[in-house]
Amino acid sequence: MKCTSIRVVCITTLAAAGIIVGTAVAQKTDRATPRPQRTLALAEEEVKQLILLMDTNKNGKISKQEFLAYMGAEFDRLDKDRSGELDPKELAQSEVRPSRPAVGK
C-alpha cells in the first residue's frame, strides 16, 4: 500500500508541477503558432522547469537519486503529522491533483 501511495504522490506531484508551469508558459505562448507547435513548446518548457527543480548537480539531467530526493522532500512537505504516510486529509489539503482519472475508475 505504501508503494502505491508513493507512486500516486510522485505522479500527481509531477502533474501538478506540469500544470503550474504549463499555465505560466501558456500565457507566454503566441496564439498565432499552430496548436501542435504550441503543445511541443509547452512540453519543452515544462521539462526545463522540472530539470531546474530537480537537477541538484546542474548537469542537465535528472538522476534516479535526484528524482527520489525531490519526491521524498515533497512527500515530507505533505506529511504534516510526520507519520510517514499520507492520509486523505493531508492529500486533500495539498495542491496535488491528478491530471487524469486513475486506471480502472
Contacts for 81 with CB less than 8 Å, ≥ 6 apart: 87, 90
45 band by pLDDT with thresholds 50, 70 and 90:
confident
Half-sphere exposure of 37 (CA within 13 A, CB side): 6
> Distance (Å, rounded) from C-alpha 102 to C-alpha 97?
11
User: What are the extents of the domains in the chain?
Assistant: 2-92
In the predicted structure, residue 12 carries a pLDDT above the cut 70:
no
> Distance (Å, rounded) from C-alpha 9 to C-alpha 91?
9
Q: What percent of the chain has pLDDT over 70?
A: 50
pLDDT tens per residue across span 66-103 = 999 999 998 999 999 999 999 999 988 877 667 665 56
> Distance (Å, rounded) from C-alpha 25 to C-alpha 28?
5
The single-letter code of the amino acid at 95 is: E
